[in-house]
A and B are shown apart, each in its own frame.
Chain A
Amino acid sequence: MGGEVVDEKRKHPVIICRCNDITLEDVERAIEQGCRDLECLRKTLRIGMGPCQGRTCIPLLMRILARRLGKRVDELPLPVVRAPIIPVPIDLFLRSVEEGDGG
């Protein structure tokens, strides 16, 4: 029984994206299935699209991708960033639409 407890304690995934719980295994599988760039990884895994908007995972992900492709990180295309670059509560936008001008 003691052995089981020890195992449980030591059985952890390698998390790449904490927001969306994407593991190294997920990333490697996507690369094996043909993803060759960040955009493909984002579209298949939704990695980097959680509330921190890739601030934690994308630099790490680019290093993993570069290693897999046998390239230097600075040879990869840079990540595309779209607004809003931080999560904004929808209430704030709704309130400005309510005011009539809708942006």
Chain B
Amino acid sequence: MEIEAYEGESIAAALYAIGIDVFSYSSKLGRPRGAFCMIGKCSSCFMVVDGVPNTRTCIEPVRDGVRVERQKGLAPVPSEKTVDGSVEPEEVLETDVLIVGGGPAGLSAALELARYGLNVVIVNEHFKLGGQLVKQTHKFFGSKELFGGLRGFQIAEMLSEQLSKYDNVKVLLQSAAYGVFRGGWVGVASRNKLYRIKPRAVIVAAGATEQYLAFPGNDLPGVMGAGGAQTLMNEYGIKPGDRALVVGSGNVGLIVSYQLLQAGVKVEAILEIMPQIGGWFVHAAKVRRYGVPILTSHTIKAAWGRERVEGATIVRVDEKFQPVPGSERDIECDLVLLAIGLAPDTRLFAQAGAVMRWIPELGGPVPIRTRRLETSIPGMYVAGDASGIEEATTAMIEGRIAALAIASKFLDGERAKRVEEEMEKLLDFLWNEYRASPLLARARAGKEKATVSEEEMERLRKEHPPLVSFR
């Protein structure tokens, strides 16, 4: 079948738009799988693209004449021994700073470093820069310096546009860091070649993954991360379904519900396992005005349907979060959106051997860091959601802080002093003004737990000698 798609669309989005829900049949059980995360983090959208199996179609752009097939089970091992002709030899790169992730934190860091004339390489898994800013259609709060009044996707466009003016910034799209190695090397894989990169400092701003939930039918096409639905409707203008059930009433669940209503999707209910609504009152009020029920002390018991979601069973829970027998109720819907939180993507730190800790307020394991955002791996910094789940404005501030901390080391004399002062000003603003808001209290508490003094960091490094250093 021949299909038309828009330039700049992902293959997965283009297929979803014409009503194709099933992208693959799973490895062992042959279960249908469809769109889930839509940002290249999971494996539900794997298809055979131009003969290449296991292609993440959600981060693969459409192109003329591309041949896409449903993947059924595990792909056979290729019988040809020869290397694909389009593969290029590995390239060795040296740079001042390597930034892993081109979202709000990574882009802000890159701009700051570029302004000071430092060489930067950014690796970005998606074929577009901007991270999750591209799906944020709401206006940001705050001053003009914090991009207040602009919408997320506009901020992404602005940052990318500013960055393109610097020739000391190299952007590697559809690329990801696959490991940190002895001697301070970072391995990066793009679509058709490897890079071996020797940076003097690294900032990891790899973002986060949506949390998954266990219930029967939790893998049916139509069960999606809330962010996956946002990618479809906010980034590509595709209506994700007709009737949605949203699980989780944090800000993500409430905002996605409002966006669903704007897109013409009926929101059957928002479920919240806790006895009270998780997100801000302002967002909850907005969806309540449309008559969307927010059912507290409720959870999803099962999703059902044949090749995709046709409905879900919900259930009331008691004060111990146990289902109350007899309180089950069926809801017909074609979307079940999971908005139960995010987990920071910190695997590169774990692989590098950084000292880490599981901090519930931050969504999972995060590297211990100093105020300047340096981890126990000397010269390896963390910023944005990878440092613990917070929000886009703090991600941008953290990106700049990490960049300034690095610049203050690489520059000398008067310039280093100026950079240092600028960093201190930002740190003061972040901790004493921005995070003073009760709305950020939880994230702030988590970030306090993850942050140690320079002396404590030295002690941690003695206790857990780093296997690798970038300094």
A interface with B by C-beta (< 8 Å)? 8-10, 12-16, 18-21, 24, 50-53, 55-57, 59-60, 64, 73-74, 76, 78-89, 91-96, 98-99
The CA-CA distance from A14 to B29 in the complex, in Å, is 12
Q: Is the CB of A56 within 8 A of B87?
A: no
Q: Is the CB of A56 within 8 A of B41?
A: yes
Q: Is the CB of A78 within 8 A of B178?
A: no
Which of B26, B89, B216 makes the CB contact (< 8 A) with A18? B26
Q: Is the CB of B193 within 8 A of A95?
A: yes
The 10 closest A-B CB pairs, nearest first, are: A83-B179, A84-B178, A96-B90, A12-B217, A81-B350, A21-B28, A74-B358, A15-B219, A88-B189, A81-B351
Among B18-44, those with CB < 8 Å from A are 26-29, 31, 33, 36-37, 41-44
> Contacts A56-B209, A95-B89 hold; do A76 and B358 have CB atoms under 8 A apart?
yes
Q: Is the CB of B351 within 8 A of A18?
A: no
**Interface flag for B110 (CB, 8 Å):** no
Q: Is the CB of B357 within 8 A of A84?
A: no
Q: Chain A binding site: helix, strand, loop or mixed by DSSP?
A: loop
The CA-CA distance from A15 to B216 in the complex, in Å, is 7
Q: Is the CB of A52 within 8 A of B42?
A: yes
Which of A12, A78, A93, A98 makes the CB contact (< 8 A) with B220? A12
> Contacts A9-B310, A14-B216, A99-B90 hold; do A82 and B28 have CB atoms under 8 A apart?
no
Q: Which residues of B contact A16 (CB under 8 A)?
A: 212, 214
Q: Chain B binding site: helix, strand, loop or mixed by DSSP?
A: loop
Q: Which residues of A contact B305 (CB under 8 A)?
A: 9
Which of B33, B44, B194, B357 makes the CB contact (< 8 A) with A74? B357
A12 to chain B, nearest CB (A): 4
- Interface size on B (CB < 8 Å)? 61
Interface locus among B135-143, B159-167, B341-349, B431-439: B341-349
**Interface flag for B281 (CB, 8 Å):** no
B8 to chain A, nearest CB (A): 24
Q: Which residues of B contact A74 (CB under 8 A)?
A: 357-360
> Contacts A18-B33, A95-B88 hold; do A86 and B178 have CB atoms under 8 A apart?
yes
**Interface flag for B103 (CB, 8 Å):** no
Q: Is the CB of B194 within 8 A of A85?
A: no
Q: Which residue of A lies closest to B193 (CB)?
A: A92
**Interface flag for B176 (CB, 8 Å):** yes
Q: Is the CB of B214 within 8 A of A82?
A: no
The CA-CA distance from A71 to B332 in the complex, in Å, is 37
> Contacts A12-B217, A24-B214, A51-B46 hold; do A99 and B350 have CB atoms under 8 A apart?
no
